[in-house]
Amino acid sequence: MPQVVVGTAGHIDHGKTSLVKALTGTDTDRLLEEKERGMTIDLGFAYLNESITLIDVPGHEKFIRNMAAGAANIHYGLLVVAADDGVMPQTREHLDILTLLGVNRGWVALTKTDLVQDSDWIDLVELDIQELLEDRGFDSLSLTRINNLTGDGVESLKSDILSLAVDQKFNFISENFRMNVDRVFTKTGFGTVVTGTVLNGSIKPGDEIEILPSQSRVKIRGLQSHGGSARTVQSGDRAALNLAHTKQSELQRGTVLCTPHSLQPTRRIIAHLTMIQSTDWIVKNKQRLRFHFGTSEVLGRVTTCGSKKLEKGHSGNLILDLESSIAVAMDDRFVIRSYSPMETIAGGIVLDPNPGGTWSAMRELARTMPVDPKERFGYLVSHQWKTPNLTGRWKSLFFNSSEQIDEWQDELEIFKSSKGFLFSKKGEEKAQDELQIFFNQSYAKNPFRPVITADAIKTFLKWSEAWFEIMVKKMLKAGILEEEKGGYALSGYTPEFSQKDLDELSRVETIMNQSGIEPILFREITELCGNNPKRVRDLIHILMEQEKVQGLGSNFYLHHTNLESLLHDIREFFKTNHTLTVADFKNLTGLSRKTAIPLLEYLDKNQFTVRQENIRIIGDALNG
C-alpha cells in the first residue's frame, strides 16, 4: 500500500504540535531550542500508523521556508486554526503555500475550543474558515472541533484521516527514483543518513543513486521507513536512507537524490507563475525573488516574457535565472516569496527545466509554451522538429508524466520512425518545404550542380542525422528527391544550357582531353580556359555529372576517355606481371612522380589496384 504524508499548516501557537502529539503520541519538537522557546522551528515527523506520516511544520513567519520545505513532500494538508484567534496571517500564507504546491485536499482542526465559551463565536470562526477555503480552492474533507483540555474530537479526526487517506492514489509516477532531502544527520555506527518523502520510483539497499546538484554517486547501505528497516521504499513512502561512504557536507536540505542520469542540475528554467489573489506585490522584469523548489530555497531573478509585469491574480510564463544550481523536473510545482520583506506572493510550475538556444529564441519559446503537459508535449515535438528525440528521451524529459507519453502520442497523432524518433505532421510539412526551398535556392546560385551532398544539406539546414534520414527516406519514396552519386537532387531537375555554356563546356573538356593520361590540376585548367575559378569549377562539375571527366583528388582531373585508356594499359601489364612498382607505373605512363602518385592513390582508392607496402597488385575493379 502506498504511504501517505499529511502536513500540518497554520499560524504560530494554534496547537499544531500538540495536535500531532495527541494523534500519534509523538512530540515532534526534537530541538532543545524548540522546547525552551515553546515553538516549532524545524520540521517534525510522527506516524499515525504504518502507512500514514504526519509532518509538523513551524507556524512562525520567520520559519516559513521550513514550512515550504515540509509542504513540498506532502499529499494532504491538516489546517489547524485556534478557536480563540480564528484565521490569522500565517493561516492564510500556509494555505496559499499548500494550494500553490498542488495540495488541495485535507482536514481542518479547530483547536482550543475549551478556551471559548461563546458557541456563536466558534460558529463565526468556522464560517470564516469555510470562506477562506473556498477562496483558496481547498477541499475540506472534514472540519473537527478539538477540545485541548479533554481531548474531545481527536479520535474523530484520527478516524477521518485513517479512513480517507488510505485510499490515496498517486498520479504521474515515474519509474526513476527521486527524493527531496529534508533532514541530514550522522548516526553512530551507520554514518550519513538522509530523510525525505519518495516522490517517484523505488529504491533498495545496494542500488546506486545520484546526488544533485553535485552529481556525485553513492550506494544505498540501508533503508528505514516508519521507524523500521525496509527492503525497499517507493513513491509516497517516508524514508531514511543510510548512504555509504558519503560526507555529511555533501548533503543538506534541498539536495535531490535520484536515479543516475534521470535529472540534470540547472540554473535556468522556463516556468509558469500565478500570483496569489491577496498579494500587493508586483513581479517586474529582472526582479530578485526567493524560490522554494522541493525542500530547497534559492534566490534568482525573473525575465518576463510578454507582459512587462505580473500583478495579483495574474499569471504568465517567465524565465528564471537562479543564483545556485538545483535539480527539478518538468511540471514540478514551487513557491515564490518576495526577497524582502519575505511574503508568499506566487506559485509556479516548471515548464522546461533546461532550456537552450539563443536568448531571443528562448524568450519566444517561453512566451508561447503551453502550461498543460499534453499540449506542451505536442508543442515541443513540433518545435524541435529539426532535431527529434527518441521516445525514451521524451519520457525522461516529462519525468512526472512519463507513463502518459504513449497515450499522448496517439491522441496528438505524433508519428514514430522505425528507430523510435517522434515527430509531428507539422514538423514533416515544415521539413519538406524547407528542403525544397533549399534545393531551389541552391539551383538558383549553382544551376549546373543538381546533386547536393548529404553533409551540405544537413549543415545548411541544421538537421540532425536522424531527421535527415527520416525526411530523405520519405521524400525519395514520394518521388520528390532522387538519389544520385555523391548526394541527392530534386526529381525532374535538369539545368538549361545556353550556347555560351555549351561552348565553355566544350573548351574545358578539350583542355582536359588534350592532357592525355597526365592528370591536370584545376589551376592549370583555369589558366588555359581564361574563366574565373568559380565558373570553371561549375563547368567541371557538369562534366563530372555527365561522366566525361573524373576527379582524382588533390585538385587533379582526368578525362574519362584517357582514364579508360590507362586502365586498359594497366590491365594488359598485369597479364604478364604480378606486381606493379612506382617505377613500373612511371615507365608505363611516362608520368613524373608529381602526377603519378595522385593517380596511383586514385587507383588504390577505387580498387583498381591494391597497395602492399611499396608494390601494387591487381584489384577487384580491374579484374572485373
Q: Which three cell numbers stand for residue 188?
A: 553512530
Top-confidence residue, 2 or 231: 231
**Any bridge partners for residue 198, and if so which?**
179
- pLDDT of the residue at 305: 84
Give the CATH number for residue 402. Answer: 1.10.10
The helix/strand/coil state of 216 is strand
User: Which stretch, 4-8, 37-41, 374-378, 399-403, has highest mean pLDDT?
Assistant: 374-378
User: Is 507 within a domain?
Assistant: yes
Q: State which residues form the domain around 350.
A: 266-368
**8 A C-beta contact, residue 288 and residue 324:** no
Place of cell 510539412: 429
Residue 566 sits in the same domain as residue 448: no
User: Is 117 within a domain?
Assistant: yes
The helix/strand/coil state of 348 is strand
User: Is 515 within a domain?
Assistant: yes
Residue 146 sits in the same domain as residue 103: yes
Residue 223 sits in the same domain as residue 287: no
User: Is 172 within a domain?
Assistant: no
Q: What is the pLDDT of residues 132-188, one digit of tens each?
A: 999 889 999 999 999 988 989 999 999 998 886 556 555 545 778 999 898 888 877
Alpha carbon distance 457, 480 (integer Å): 15
Residue 423 sits in the same domain as residue 481: yes
Output Rg (C-alpha) for the chain, integer angstroms: 37
User: Is 173 within a domain?
Assistant: no
Return the DSSP state at 331. Answer: T
User: Is 388 within a domain?
Assistant: yes
**Helical H segments across 277-347, by residue range:** none
Which residues lie closer than 8 Å to 163 by C-beta, 6 or more apart? none
Residue 436 sits in the same domain as residue 526: no
Number of domains making up the chain: 5
- pLDDT of the residue at 447: 78
* Position 32 confidence tier, pLDDT thresholds 50, 70, 90: very low
Q: Which of 440, 463, 494 is at the close of a domain? A: 494
Q: What is the pLDDT of residues 204-233, one digit of tens each?
A: 999 999 999 999 999 999 998 877 888 998
Give the CATH number for residue 25. Answer: 3.40.50.300
Tally of residues, the chain: 624
Give the CATH number for residue 219. Answer: 2.40.30.10
Q: Which of 165, 195, 224 is at the close of a domain? A: 165
Cis peptide before 341 (omega within 30 of 0): yes
Alpha carbon distance 582, 580 (integer Å): 7
Residue 117 sits in the same domain as residue 202: no
Q: What is the pLDDT of residues 58-101, one digit of tens each?
A: 544 443 455 455 455 678 889 999 999 999 988 888 888 888 87
* Position 31 confidence tier, pLDDT thresholds 50, 70, 90: very low
User: Is 171 within a domain?
Assistant: no
**8 A C-beta contact, residue 350 and residue 328:** yes
Share of the chain above pLDDT 90, in %: 36
Categorise residue 286: left if φ over 0, alpha if ψ from -120 to 50, beta otherwise: left
Residue 216 sits in the same domain as residue 318: no
Residue 282 sits in the same domain as residue 305: yes
Alpha carbon distance 83, 113 (integer Å): 5
* Position 351 confidence tier, pLDDT thresholds 50, 70, 90: very high
- pLDDT of the residue at 264: 92
- pLDDT of the residue at 73: 61
Cis peptide before 213 (omega within 30 of 0): yes
Residue 318 sits in the same domain as residue 349: yes
Calculate ∠ Cα 56-62-65, nearest 5°: 60
User: Is 248 within a domain?
Assistant: yes
Residue 297 sits in the same domain as residue 401: no
* Position 34 confidence tier, pLDDT thresholds 50, 70, 90: very low
Residue 354 sits in the same domain as residue 248: no
Give the CATH number for residue 546. Answer: 1.10.10.10
Q: What is the pLDDT of residues 172-186, one digit of tens each?
A: 457 789 998 988 888
Q: Which of 115, 132, 165 is at the close of a domain? A: 165
**8 A C-beta contact, residue 245 and residue 211:** no
Residue 510 sits in the same domain as residue 394: no
